[in-house]
Structure 1
Amino acid sequence: MSPSIYNPFTRLNFSNRTCFLTGQALTSEEEKVQVFPAWLMSRYHLEDKVIKLLDENYVGYKDLKVPCAASVNEQYLIPLENTVANAFDQGYEAVRELDETILFQWAGKLLYGIIFNEMQAGIRQQHAQGEGFNISQALIHKFSHLHLMLQSINLPLTFEDFKPFSLFLFKVNNPENEFAYRDEINTLTFSIRVQDFGLIICLQDNGANRRYHKELLEQVSGDTLHPIQFEEICARVFYSAYLFNRLPEYDVLPVGDEIYIESMPLRGMSSKPTFDDWMGKTYGQVLENFWKKWGLLLFEIIKNPDHPMSFLFTRDGQKISAASIDLPL
Structure 2
Amino acid sequence: MQFSDAHCFLCGTTITPDQRTPVFAEWLQTKYNLQHKELLLLDKSVSTFSQLTIPCCDSCNINHVIPLEQEIAQAAEKGMTGFKDLSEQKLFQWIGKMFYGTLVMELIKEADPLIMPEYAVSENPKMQGKFQSFFMVLQSLRIPMVFSDFMPCSLFFLEIDPTEDELPFEYQDELTTMAFSIKLGSVAIVCTLLDNGIIKRALGKFYKITEGQKLHPVQLAEFKARVFYAAYIFNVVPDYFIRPGKPEDEQLILDTLIDDVTAEVFNPWEMTAYAHMLEEMLKPWSIREKDILQNPAQPLSFIVDEQNNFKPLQTFSKV
> Quick check: TM above 0.5?
yes
Q: Partner letter of residue 54 of structure 1?
A: L
Q: Please name the residue that 2:251 is paired with.
A: 258
Which deviates the most, 174-183 or 58-67? 174-183
What are the superposed Cα offsets for residues 238-291 of structure 1, whole Å, 9 maximum, x if unpaired? 001001111111112352343221101341x32x53111111111111111111
Paired letter, 1:214? G
With normalisation by structure 2, the TM-score equals 0.91
Residue 157 (structure 1) aligned with residue 177 (structure 2): no
Provide runs of 4+ in structure 1 moved above 4 Å: none
Q: Is the 8 A contact 1:44 1:177 kept in 2?
A: no
TM-score when scaled to structure 1? 0.88
RMSD: 2.0
Between the aligned partners of 1:157 and 1:278, the Cα distance in structure 2 is: 35
Is the counterpart of residue 22 in structure 1 residue 11 in structure 2? yes
**Residue 23 of structure 2: aligned partner:** 35
Q: Match for 2:284 among 293, 300, 303?
A: 293
Is residue 2:222 matched to residue 1:232? yes
Matches within 5 A, 1:125-204: 125=113, 135-174=123-162, 175=165, 178-204=168-194
Opposite residue 213 of structure 2, the aligned amino acid is: D
Read off the aligned partner of 1:138 and give its amino acid letter: K
The letter of the residue matching 1:15 is S
- Stretches of structure 1 that go unaligned for 5 or more consecutive residues are 1-7
Percent of aligned pairs with the same amino acid = 31
Provide the aligned length of Structure 1 versus Structure 2. 308
Call closer, same or farther: CA 1:197–1:134 in 2, change over 3 Å.
closer
Q: Which residue of 1 aligns with 2:56?
A: 68
Cα distance in 2, alignment partners of residues 237 and 172 from structure 1: 17
The answer for the alignment partner of 1:111 in structure 2 is: 99
CA contact (8 A) 1:280 1:307 kept: no
Shift in alpha-carbon separation, 1:315–1:53, aligned structure 2, 3 A: same
Q: Where do 5+ consecutive residues of structure 2 fail to align?
A: none
Residue identity opposite 1:37 in structure 2: A
Letter in structure 1 aligned against 2:91: L
CA shift at 1:124, angstroms? 2.4
Task: Report if the CA contact (8 A) 2:99-2:180 is conserved.
Answer: yes
Q: Give yes or no for contact 1:173–1:197 (8 Å, CA) kept in 2.
A: no
Task: Report the CA distance shift for 1:226/1:266 in structure 2 as closer, same or farther (over 3 A).
Answer: farther
Cα displacement string for residues 297-321 of structure 1 (whole angstroms, at most 9, x for unaligned residues): 2221222232221101123433211
Separation in structure 2 between the aligned mates of residue 23 and residue 142 of structure 1, nearest angstrom: 18
Out of 82, 107, 112, which is 2:70 matched to? Answer: 82
Measured in 1, the distance between the counterparts of 2:219 and 2:268 equals: 23
Q: Hey, what does 2:304 align to over in structure 1?
A: 313
Instruction: Measure the CA separation in 1 of the matches of 2:123 and 2:244.
Output: 29
Instruction: Select which of 295, 301, 318 maps to 1:304.
Output: 295
Change (3 A) 1:135 1:252: farther
Alignment partner, residue 280 of structure 1: 271
- Once the two structures are TM-superposed, the CA of residue 176 in structure 1 deviates from its matched residue by 6.3
Q: Deviations over 1:101-151 (max 9, x none)?
A: 11110000001001001111112249x9xxxx9522211111112111111
Once residues 118 and 164 of structure 1 are traced to their aligned partners in structure 2, the CA distance between those partners, rounded to angstroms, is 23
Contact 2:107–2:122, Cα closer than 8 Å, also in 1: no
